[in-house]
Chain A
Amino acid sequence: MTSQPMNSPAKTLARRFSKLSPYLWILPALTVYAIFKLYPLVSGLQMSLLRWDGIEDPKYIGLRNFEKILSDPMTGTVLLNNAHYAVGTVVGKIVLSLFLAILLHQALKGRTFYRTSLFMPVVMSFVVVGVLWSWLFNPQFGLINSFLRGLGLDFLVQDWLGDAAVALNSLILVDIWKWYGFHMVIFLAGLQSIPDELYEAARIDGASVWQQFLHVTLPMLQPVMIVNVTISVMGAFNVFDIPFIMTAGGPANATNVMALHIYIRGFKFYRFGFSAALSYVLLVIVTLVAAIQLKLMTSGDNND
């Protein structure tokens, strides 16, 4: 980093070393990341071209796995479930978290108490959440059905996890319960960054509270909105824990999603090549979502 002339061989060596030394600092982190994250991302490509059960010798079959994925009706089923899950969780999480963030943003007594309580499910494990909600959804003794019966709303009583028409929506509800607090905090940070002068100017122009929300709050929240939507969409396409623990993909594949499909093909049916190929389908979808986010974020920056 020094600019004095260096002539002796020892000093040249020292200068060489100082050029290299930044790499030594990042080497440990990069090594772990390269071995356990980057290498599987690449080595799986070769595995996706194999017929392989993990035990016997693999057989090269070209793109046959991908052809099978395209012709397998299950692919469409699981991706539709993922899309349904994405729409349900995104709408639920965004509406609920934005609504509560706006309430919490005001000067209220007990704000910290509310925020602490409302964020709590975020620190809990999906295993605990999944097992707990399996009981809450229990058709005979579960809290939800007994609550509905108590209110005389018997027509709403459901077999929440056993009915193929309802099960996926029940899982969506659990996901919203677990994560909306996270999105709420991100919206709160966004709300805090909106200058008060904008609201004052809007009020002088005679804007109602609703108009202020539409024309000041929402546009100013656009960056955090993109972050929140992207995180929930990616979460919805990667979801594994909730369906695996609560329904195992059932009934009749009504809650089977891509990550679960990949796991079951790989570790229940030992179709390693096919499962690896499926992973790349998921990877492409998640990458597309991330690319759209990047595009939206950078185009937003240009407008500023």
Chain B
Amino acid sequence: MSAARSNDQQPTKPGIHWRPILVTLFNHSILILFTVIIVYPVLWMILASFKTPGELVSNTWGFPSSPAYENYAVAWDKAKLGRALLNSGIVSIGAVLVVVCLSSIAGYAFAKFSFRFGTVILLIFVFTMQAPVPIIPFYVLFVRLKLTDSYLGLILAIASGTIPLSIFIFQAFFRSIPGELREAAKIDGCSEFMAFLRVVMPISGPAVATVSILTFVGAWNEYFMPLLLIRSDELRPLTLTIQVFFLQFGRAEWNVIFATLSIASIPMIVIYVFLQRWFIRGLTSGSIKG
């Protein structure tokens, strides 16, 4: 479907070539249309978070006449968003640390050592990673280990889901690192593990970034695990806080709801826009080879 390009390559006569111009115009108009359809609800949400309840109905489409900043103050206090942001931050960063540490070490072993049951263990990961966990035994396990209602429990619950994919990402990356590097470090007297820590990890930024983004976005947006495992108000992450707040006040105070939604999404959207290449690569890395 590279019609635009094919026309450029054909022998040209002097004068204006209408067809490629029309094709380009068509492409842009379709893409702009879809961009508007996709992005508009998010923009609208941010605009609506600055409206008064009356304006939300009377002036649905336009800009707020004077921004109602108090929506944010009310949202912050009533929904206890400060605490929720802190909880989400702790759990997401904790999950990133656990997943990056455990799966980089394991990925390195799978990439560089050959050992008897290596393939078998990899196959166990492959065949079980996409299986939905039965929630009853999962929940009962957390109750018996006294890991419900704790940061650690939530971190481990989320990490255990992303470890296999992360191991595969690290393994593929470490395979591409030349073996001489590791040999040189070992000749200098480093143990295998020190060579990994001091020589291999410092040049593994791309793999660390991919796994970190994948895990962080997943953990930040995770809803089901906290729904299952978190009981007390103080430990609720952002997702669960918003949903509980929505159930309590949503029908009456939509403008405040939109303020909570904006607080929850704007940080992620801003980081995404700045690091979009990394985000897109990280979030689709499980599905695209290389």
Question: Which A residues lie at the B interface, using CB under 8 A?
Answer: 19, 21-23, 25-26, 28-30, 32-33, 35-41, 43-44, 47-48, 54, 100, 102-108, 110, 112, 114-128, 131-136, 141, 143, 146, 177, 181-182, 185-186, 189, 196, 199, 203, 209, 212-213, 217, 224, 227-228, 231, 234, 238, 240-241, 245, 259, 262-263, 266-267, 272-273, 275-276, 279-280, 282-283, 286-287, 290
Contact = CB atoms under 8 A, between A and B. Distances in A.
B106 A124 contact: no
A275 to B, nearest CB: 5
A156 to B, nearest CB: 16
B204 interface: no
Contact of A32 (B115, B159, B221, B250): B159
Interface in B1-55: 1-6, 24, 27-28, 30-31, 34-35, 38-39, 41-42, 44-45
B1 A41 contact: no
A143 B44 contact: yes
A30 B121 contact: yes
Contacts of A196: 2
Contact of A272 (B42, B133, B136): B136
Given A36-B160, A119-B276, A128-B242, 4 more contacts: A40-B134, A123-B268, A131-B257, A276-B136
Contacts of B30: 103
A271 B240 CA distance: 24
Contacts of A104: 31
A120 B269 contact: yes
Nearest to A185: B284
Contacts of A35: 141, 160
Given A22-B115, A106-B1, A177-B38, A275 B6 contact: no
5 contacts: A32-B98, A106-B27, A114-B31, A115-B276, A125-B239
A100 B34 contact: yes
Interface in B238-289: 238-240, 242-243, 246, 250, 254, 257-258, 261, 264-265, 268-269, 272-273, 276, 279-280, 283-284, 287-288
List 6 A-B pairs, minimum CB-CB distance, nearest first.
A279-B134, A25-B109, A44-B137, A36-B160, A44-B134, A125-B221
Contacts of B115: 19, 22-23
B4 A32 contact: no
